[in-house]
Amino acid sequence: MSSKKQSWKEVTIAGVITTPRSSLEYKTGVWRSQTPVIDYAKCTKCLICWIYCPEPTIVRITGNPEKAVEIDQNYCKGCGICAQVCPVKAIEMRQG
């Protein structure tokens, strides 16, 4: 999706999207008003957040002894479910 919006003469007829997976271009992360931040010192790598994330924007990381997950901020809508379900309160929701 280009930043310049198309005119009615430019848009495809009836808004048909002719390229599959183009929704990936739509960064739903801009909807977020709160951002989850993981405190890796507290994280026990239990992966409960990874299971519960509805989007899912919690991405598993392999081969890094420091962290088991990261948050894909391009698509995280900031719902806060991860912070709620974390058993050790390792995720904090910050404004913005």
Partner 1 sequence: MSATKEYNQKALGLRGNDAVAYAVKQANVDVIAAYPITPQTLMVEELSRFVASGELKAKYINTESEHSAMSGCIGASLAGARTFTATASQGLAYMHEALYAASGLRCPIVMAVACRALSAPINIHGDHSDVFGSRDAGWMQVFCENPQEAYDMTLLGFKLAEREDVLTPIMVNFDGFITSHCLERVEVLPDEMVNEYLPPRNAKLKLDVDKPMTFGAFALQDYYFEFKRQQHEAMEHAYRLMPEMWSEYAKLSGRNYANVRTYRLTNADVVIVSAGSTSGTARYAVDELRQQKIRAGALGIRLFRPWPGPEVLKALKNVKAVAVLDRATSLGAPGTTLYEDVATTLYALPKQPTLTNYVYGLGGRDIRTRDIVKAVRETLKLASDKKKVSPIKFLGVRE
Binding site for partner 1 (CB under 8 A): 5-8, 11-18, 20, 22
Nearer to partner 1, 26 or 40 (CB): 26
Residue-by-residue DSSP string for 20-88 = TTGGGGS-GGGG-SEEEEE-TTT-----HHHHH-SS--EEE--S-TT-SEEE-TTT-----HHHHH-TT
Considering the complex, what minimum distance in angstroms separates the CB of residue 22 from partner 1?
A: 8
Nearer to partner 1, 17 or 41 (CB): 17
Considering the complex, what minimum distance in angstroms separates the CB of residue 33 from partner 1?
A: 18
Nearer to partner 1, 11 or 47 (CB): 11
Considering the complex, what minimum distance in angstroms separates the CB of residue 73 from partner 1?
A: 22
